[in-house]
Amino acid sequence: MAKLAAADVIIVTWLARSMRDLVETLGTIDVRKDGLGFLGHVSRHHNAVRPPKLTAQQANEALSRRDAGEPMCDIASSYNVSYSTIARLTA
């Protein structure tokens, strides 16, 4: 890392073996001075962001049903999602 130039790109696939290694590695990079930044998580096997289980319309319907007093387990079953998915919904 001593020979990095401003235009260099580093692709990190595994940053550290332990929290101590992570802190030491990040301590060697001065993001402001070196002009480095993070592009985000990239994986060969998974999307960086998991798609939502419910569409916006389904989420609104589920919220309305929940607010009307319908049991969350019944709502979850009707959309084939978990109870937690319904419980996490916000208006």
34 CB-near residues (< 8 Å, 6+ apart): 4, 6
Measured distance CA(91)–CA(85) in Å, rounded: 14
Output the pTM of the full model: 0.48
Measured distance CA(13)–CA(48) in Å, rounded: 14
Closest CA to 55 of 18, 17, 85, 32: 85
Measured distance CA(28)–CA(37) in Å, rounded: 14
Q: pLDDT by residue for the chain (91 residues), tens digit each?
A: 567 666 666 666 666 677 777 677 666 666 555 555 555 544 555 555 678 899 999 999 999 999 999 999 999 999 999 999 999 998 6
